[in-house]
Amino acid sequence: MFLFSCATHPETRTVETRPVEVPSETKPAGTIPEETKPVEISAKKPEVPSSIMGKGMVFPEKMAAFLLQYNPQITGTYALMLANLYVTESEYEGVNHDIAFSQMCLETGYLRYGGDVKPEQFNYAGLGAIGNGEPGLSFPDPSIGVRAQIQHLKAYGSEEPLKGDLVNPRFRFVRRGISPTIEGLAGTWAADRQYAVKINSILERLYEFSF
């Protein structure tokens, strides 16, 4: 995301000399006339989203690279597989995958874990993990784990019915549409009053990395 001048050396030869009109205003060699200068177009970085429902902007390859930057202990294959799951599962339910992915990064510490939830649970959003050693829900594989998180986000962000089969047993405990934006997740999804601020911080880093 991110001139060299070349001077020409004419060959030595005998030519007929003619009077040359010298312009009143001279410009240095290599200067491009204003009317012919190429217009520089800079790609504008998208605004960081706040609405849970919507379409994400980051490609899975960028998401995987971002994840690996913060946790080089996981494999590139796993990171890309997970990123693709976030894109497909989110798109299916109309959830913004950038937000879902950033929430996962926060909840799992970029898949480093270290809290009550263990990697083998495939619980990427701390569903049911309420502290004091309670590990929360477990899911059979990464696909179902991501799907459960997406369904939970949709419960918060929308009153629309799910398109896929319900895999999240805590879905029914959410008052539908209680939080259309990530700001409303603080004090609801998590007791942490800075929860939305932390998700937004990861989103900003993800967009800075990706665009």
What is the DSSP secondary-structure string of 3-34? -------PPP--------PPPSS---TTPPPG
Show the tokens assigned to 70: 């913060």
Residue 158 in contact with residue 53, Cβ under 8 Å?
Answer: yes
What's the pLDDT tens digit per position in 50-95? 999 999 999 999 999 999 999 999 999 999 999 999 999 999 999 9
Euclidean distance between the first and final Cα of the chain, in Å? 9
The CATH code that applies to domain 60-210 is 1.10.530.10
Confidence label for 43 from pLDDT (cuts 50, 70 and 90): low
pTM (predicted TM-score): 0.79
What's the pLDDT tens digit per position in 93-119? 999 999 999 999 999 999 999 999 999
